[in-house]
């Protein structure tokens, strides 16, 4: 049923010199799904992520968001079209406050330019107030509003992860792409992350997730795709994937 697909990825390949990082990868993500991407280290997960979010352009293949072909566009255009992301190694604007970080996320949804900045006309003042109000809402949404004036680099690790999610949500995404959001988190952090992700999904945002924490992935996602050496080796619900012999072999080696 293509009408319900939010993201349709077909035949994506990407080479770096002689190394093929992705070979003919296809999958689709339905609206409102939590879709996970798993695989051993070096399987091509992050490369695929970077292609979908416009950091790399694919060598061949295409992908559509809402039926619109997006392959090869710039990262800023992806954000504008509705794909927001977080990074595996947190990339916050570390010398800006938490609030300012989220306010930057509103950039593509607002318009004030040099003229509005200098003359502060009524519409640019109103817009600036809306940006700040929305950013505060998002900080409290992810549960870190009490740190609003702290510099991002002084936040605790878990709060930095939350701030990255808030900043991504500020772009009003249809698809939120999270690159290992639970990396380095303890059990209670991971549990509250799971609750946050469920809530984001309930609020109508589709989630694409790369994650190493198998317990978290299996517990939260609706469907997942397994990559190994740049190839898709399995796709399906957690139950289907768990019993797939190819997946067991990829993770444990053949005995």
Partner 1 sequence: MNRGIRLFLVAAGLIALPFLTDFAFGRTWVRIIDFALLYSMLALGLNIVVGFAGLLDLGYVAFFAVGAYLYALLASPHFGLHLPFWLLLPLGALVAGLFGILLGAPTLRLRGDYLAIVTLGFGEIIRIFLNNLNAPYDITGGPQGVNLIDPITIGGFSLNHPLSSSFPAVYNYYFLFLAVTILVAFVSSRLQNSRIGRAWVAIREDEIAAEAMGINTRNVKLLAFAMGASFGGLSGTLFAGFEGFVSPESFTLMESIMILCMVVLGGMGHIRGVIFGAILLSILPEALRYVGSLQQAIFGHVYADPSSIRMLLFGISLILVMLFRPAGLWPSPVRRRELAAHDETARHENSSIYDAGH
Q: Is the Cβ–Cβ distance between 215 and 194 less than 8 Å?
A: no
| Choices 18-26, 56-64, 108-116, 214-222; region in contact with partner 1 by CB under 8 A | 108-116
Site residues for partner 1, window 54-93 (CB under 8 A)?
54-55, 74-76, 78-80, 84-85, 87, 91-93
**Cβ-Cβ contacts under 8 Å for 1 (sequence gap 6 or more):** none
Site residues for partner 1, window 166-185 (CB under 8 A)?
167-168, 170-171
- Alpha-carbon Rg for the chain, nearest whole angstrom, is 19
Report the Cα 177 to chain-centroid distance in Å.
1
Per CB under 8 A, 216 contacts partner 1: no
Closest by CA to 145, choosing from 153, 137, 155, is 137
| Choices 6-14, 19-27, 125-133, 185-193; region in contact with partner 1 by CB under 8 A | 125-133
Q: In sequence order, what DSSP letters do the residues of 139-199 get, joined into one string?
A: HHHTT-GGGTTSBGGGS-HHHHHHHHHHHHHTT--SEEEEESTTTT--HHHHHHHHHHHHH
Widest Cα–Cα separation across the chain: 71
Q: Is the Cβ–Cβ distance between 6 and 65 less than 8 Å?
A: yes
Task: Tell me how far, at minimum, the Cβ of 28 lies from partner 1, in Å.
Answer: 23
Q: Given candidates 8, 64, 71, 96, which one binds partner 1 under the rule CB under 8 A?
A: 96
Task: Tell me how far, at minimum, the Cβ of 108 lies from partner 1, in Å.
Answer: 3
Per CB under 8 A, 140 contacts partner 1: no
Residues forming contacts to partner 1 in the complex (CB under 8 A) are 53-55, 74-76, 78-80, 84-85, 87, 91-97, 100, 103-110, 112-114, 116-118, 120, 124, 127-128, 131, 147, 149-151, 154, 167-168, 170-171
């Amino acid at each position: 049923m293509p009408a319900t697909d939010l993201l349709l990825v077909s035949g994506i390949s990407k080479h770096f010199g002689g190394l093929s990082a992705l070979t003919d990868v296809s999958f689709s993500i339905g609206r409102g799904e939590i879709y996970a991407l798993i695989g051993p280290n070096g399987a091509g997960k992050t490369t695929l992520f970077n292609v979908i979010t416009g950091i790399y352009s694919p060598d061949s293949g295409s992908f559509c968001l809402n039926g619109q072909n997006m392959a090869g566009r710039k990262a800023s255009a992806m954000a504008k079209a509705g794909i927001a992301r977080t990074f595996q190694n947190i990339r916050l604007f570390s010398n800006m406050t938490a609030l300012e970080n989220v306010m930057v996320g509103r950039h593509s949804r607002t318009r004030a330019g040099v003229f509005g900045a200098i003359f502060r006309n009524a519409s640019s003042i109103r817009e600036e107030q809306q940006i700040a109000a929305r950013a505060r809402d998002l900080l409290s949404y992810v549960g870190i509003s009490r740190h609003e004036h702290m510099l991002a680099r002084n936040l605790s690790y878990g709060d930095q992860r939350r701030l990255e999610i808030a900043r991504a949500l500020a772009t009003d995404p249809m698809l939120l792409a999270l690159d290992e959001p639970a990396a380095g988190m303890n059990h209670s952090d991971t549990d509250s992350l799971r609750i946050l992700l469920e809530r984001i999904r309930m609020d109508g945002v589709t989630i694409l997730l790369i994650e190493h924490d198998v317990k978290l992935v299996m517990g939260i996602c609706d469907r997942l795709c397994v990559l190994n050496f740049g190839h898709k080796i399995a796709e399906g619900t957690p139950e289907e994937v768990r019993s797939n012999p190819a997946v067991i072999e990829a993770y444990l080696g053949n005995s």
